[in-house]
A = this chain, B = another copy of it.
Amino acid sequence: MLPPSTRRSLPMTLLRAREVIMAHFRPMLARHDITEQQWRVLRVLAETGPLEATELAGRASILPPSLTRIIKALEERRLITRNRVKDDGRRALLAITPSGVALIEDLAPERIAIYEAIEGRYGAEQYEQLLDMLESLIQSESSEG
Protein backbone atom coordinates (compact mmCIF):
# COMPACT_ATOMS: atom_id res chain seq x y z
CA MET A 1 0.00 0.00 0.00
CA LEU A 2 1.20 3.45 -0.87
CA PRO A 3 1.16 6.17 1.75
CA PRO A 4 -1.51 8.75 1.05
CA SER A 5 -0.23 11.82 -0.74
CA THR A 6 -0.40 14.99 1.28
CA ARG A 7 -3.27 16.06 -0.94
CA ARG A 8 -5.39 13.14 0.20
CA SER A 9 -4.29 12.46 3.74
CA LEU A 10 -7.15 12.37 6.19
CA PRO A 11 -5.62 14.70 8.81
CA MET A 12 -4.73 17.33 6.24
CA THR A 13 -8.08 17.10 4.53
CA LEU A 14 -9.85 17.52 7.85
CA LEU A 15 -7.63 20.50 8.58
CA ARG A 16 -8.37 22.16 5.26
CA ALA A 17 -12.08 21.48 5.57
CA ARG A 18 -12.10 23.11 8.96
CA GLU A 19 -10.18 26.05 7.58
CA VAL A 20 -12.62 26.83 4.78
CA ILE A 21 -15.53 26.60 7.20
CA MET A 22 -13.98 28.71 9.93
CA ALA A 23 -13.05 31.38 7.40
CA HIS A 24 -16.74 32.22 7.24
CA PHE A 25 -16.98 32.77 10.98
CA ARG A 26 -13.78 34.65 11.70
CA PRO A 27 -14.91 38.11 10.59
CA MET A 28 -17.91 37.85 12.89
CA LEU A 29 -15.78 36.78 15.83
CA ALA A 30 -13.24 39.52 15.17
CA ARG A 31 -15.95 42.17 15.12
CA HIS A 32 -16.93 41.08 18.62
CA ASP A 33 -13.34 40.79 19.81
CA ILE A 34 -13.68 37.17 20.79
CA THR A 35 -11.61 34.15 19.83
CA GLU A 36 -12.94 30.97 18.36
CA GLN A 37 -12.15 29.08 21.56
CA GLN A 38 -13.71 31.67 23.81
CA TRP A 39 -16.83 31.47 21.70
CA ARG A 40 -16.88 27.68 22.05
CA VAL A 41 -16.60 27.92 25.82
CA LEU A 42 -19.44 30.40 26.04
CA ARG A 43 -21.67 28.34 23.79
CA VAL A 44 -21.09 25.17 25.77
CA LEU A 45 -21.87 26.94 29.04
CA ALA A 46 -24.96 28.53 27.52
CA GLU A 47 -26.24 25.19 26.27
CA THR A 48 -25.34 23.02 29.21
CA GLY A 49 -25.40 25.24 32.25
CA PRO A 50 -22.62 25.54 34.84
CA LEU A 51 -19.82 23.02 34.47
CA GLU A 52 -16.55 22.12 36.13
CA ALA A 53 -13.39 22.81 34.19
CA THR A 54 -12.66 19.22 33.23
CA GLU A 55 -16.13 18.64 31.87
CA LEU A 56 -16.05 21.97 30.05
CA ALA A 57 -12.68 21.20 28.52
CA GLY A 58 -14.01 17.94 27.17
CA ARG A 59 -17.16 19.39 25.71
CA ALA A 60 -15.37 22.33 24.12
CA SER A 61 -12.44 20.21 22.90
CA ILE A 62 -9.94 22.44 24.62
CA LEU A 63 -6.95 21.18 26.60
CA PRO A 64 -6.73 22.05 30.30
CA PRO A 65 -3.80 24.48 30.01
CA SER A 66 -5.59 26.43 27.29
CA LEU A 67 -8.82 26.40 29.23
CA THR A 68 -7.09 27.88 32.27
CA ARG A 69 -6.02 30.88 30.18
CA ILE A 70 -9.36 31.21 28.44
CA ILE A 71 -11.25 31.13 31.72
CA LYS A 72 -9.04 33.87 33.04
CA ALA A 73 -9.73 36.08 30.04
CA LEU A 74 -13.48 35.45 30.08
CA GLU A 75 -13.65 36.07 33.81
CA GLU A 76 -11.88 39.40 33.42
CA ARG A 77 -14.41 40.38 30.78
CA ARG A 78 -17.24 39.34 33.11
CA LEU A 79 -18.58 36.86 30.58
CA ILE A 80 -18.30 33.92 32.97
CA THR A 81 -18.10 33.42 36.71
CA ARG A 82 -16.32 30.86 38.81
CA ASN A 83 -17.58 29.45 42.11
CA ARG A 84 -15.76 26.97 44.30
CA VAL A 85 -17.54 23.71 44.89
CA LYS A 86 -18.08 23.12 48.58
CA ASP A 87 -16.52 19.97 49.97
CA ASP A 88 -13.86 20.00 47.27
CA GLY A 89 -11.43 22.89 47.14
CA ARG A 90 -9.99 21.81 43.83
CA ARG A 91 -13.08 22.09 41.69
CA ALA A 92 -14.99 25.16 40.64
CA LEU A 93 -18.25 25.60 38.81
CA LEU A 94 -18.00 27.80 35.76
CA ALA A 95 -21.13 29.62 34.65
CA ILE A 96 -21.96 32.07 31.89
CA THR A 97 -23.12 35.53 32.97
CA PRO A 98 -26.06 37.46 31.52
CA SER A 99 -23.53 39.50 29.52
CA GLY A 100 -22.15 36.28 28.15
CA VAL A 101 -25.60 35.07 27.18
CA ALA A 102 -26.26 38.40 25.52
CA LEU A 103 -23.11 38.08 23.46
CA ILE A 104 -24.05 34.58 22.32
CA GLU A 105 -27.51 35.76 21.42
CA ASP A 106 -26.12 38.70 19.51
CA LEU A 107 -24.10 36.37 17.37
CA ALA A 108 -26.75 33.71 16.93
CA PRO A 109 -28.59 35.12 13.89
CA GLU A 110 -25.44 35.63 11.86
CA ARG A 111 -24.20 32.24 12.96
CA ILE A 112 -27.35 30.59 11.72
CA ALA A 113 -27.20 32.47 8.43
CA ILE A 114 -23.65 31.29 7.85
CA TYR A 115 -24.59 27.68 8.50
CA GLU A 116 -27.57 27.94 6.20
CA ALA A 117 -25.41 29.36 3.45
CA ILE A 118 -22.94 26.50 3.77
CA GLU A 119 -25.71 23.94 3.78
CA GLY A 120 -27.23 25.61 0.77
CA ARG A 121 -24.03 25.36 -1.23
CA TYR A 122 -23.11 21.87 -0.11
CA GLY A 123 -26.55 20.35 0.06
CA ALA A 124 -28.52 19.71 3.22
CA GLU A 125 -28.53 15.93 2.83
CA GLN A 126 -24.82 15.75 2.10
CA TYR A 127 -24.23 18.03 5.05
CA GLU A 128 -26.07 15.76 7.45
CA GLN A 129 -24.43 12.71 5.98
CA LEU A 130 -21.00 14.24 6.40
CA LEU A 131 -21.70 14.96 10.04
CA ASP A 132 -22.90 11.39 10.53
CA MET A 133 -19.79 9.99 8.91
CA LEU A 134 -17.51 12.17 10.99
CA GLU A 135 -19.26 11.15 14.17
CA SER A 136 -18.94 7.56 13.15
CA LEU A 137 -15.21 8.06 12.56
CA ILE A 138 -14.82 9.68 15.95
CA GLN A 139 -16.68 6.75 17.47
CA SER A 140 -14.57 4.12 15.74
CA GLU A 141 -11.32 5.82 16.69
CA SER A 142 -12.07 6.91 20.22
CA SER A 143 -9.80 5.28 22.76
CA GLU A 144 -12.73 3.54 24.38
CA GLY A 145 -13.85 2.04 21.10
Question: Which B residues are CB-close (under 8 A) to A130?
Answer: 10, 130, 133-134, 137
Which bucket holds chain A's interface residue count?
35 or more
How many chain copies?
A: 2
**Contacting residue for A115 out of B3, B112, B129, CB 8 A:** B3
* Cβ-defined contact, B134 with A126, below 8 A: no
* Cβ-defined contact, A138 with B61, below 8 A: no
Interface flags for A105-145 (1: CB within 8 Å of B; 0: not) read 00010011001101001100011011101111110111100
* Cβ-defined contact, B61 with A15, below 8 A: yes
Question: Which B residues are CB-close (under 8 A) to A12?
Answer: 40, 61
Interface flags for A4-17 (1: CB within 8 Å of B; 0: not) read 11111011111111
Q: Is A43 interfacial (CB-CB < 8 Å)?
A: yes
* Cβ-defined contact, B14 with A134, below 8 A: yes
* Cβ-defined contact, A136 with B112, below 8 A: no
